[in-house]
Amino acid sequence: MVLVIFLVIVVLVLAIGINENKKKTKYKNGLMNDEEKAKYEKRLAYQEQLKKSKTIRQVMIVGNNTDSRKKVGSTVVRGAVGGALLGPAGLVGGALSGKNKVIGKTTFLIEYEDGHRETKTVDNNSTEFNKLCNYLKMD
């Protein structure tokens, strides 16, 4: 059943692609009537505008925030071990020695080719962070 659905989807995608190639060829060879030509050009303009609305022109950093927190699991385990070995003082010391987890976030102002802007806050060292850093202007 899954194979049949997959094959139907593949056939539909191929049919759409073939139809698009036929329209493109008709347009290039001047074989479309005025109505078809206007619709095709309108769709091409829409696709170009859509492409511009997703294309990044430049990026600026507008904020940076880091937050340091104790890891809960590490704190509990170290506190329990310290308490077992040295009593109440060991419990406190073990809990305070828990590992820190540093969470860094950066806020970017993104300007797109079509002129609109958006702010986006992402985790430092994420793939999206690295992608946006490629668009930073270093003046």
| pLDDT of 110 above 60 | yes
Q: Residue 75 pLDDT more than 70? A: no
Most confident of the ranges 20-29, 54-63, 126-135: 126-135
Tell me what the pLDDT averaged over the chain comes to.
77
82 pLDDT higher than 70: no
CA 98 to chain centre: 33
Q: Is the pLDDT of residue 88 over 80?
A: no
pLDDT of residue 29: 80
State how far the Cα of 10 lies from the Cα of 16, in Å rounded to an integer. Answer: 10
pTM for the whole thing? Answer: 0.48
The three-state secondary structure class of 78 is: helix
Higher pLDDT, 41 or 92: 41
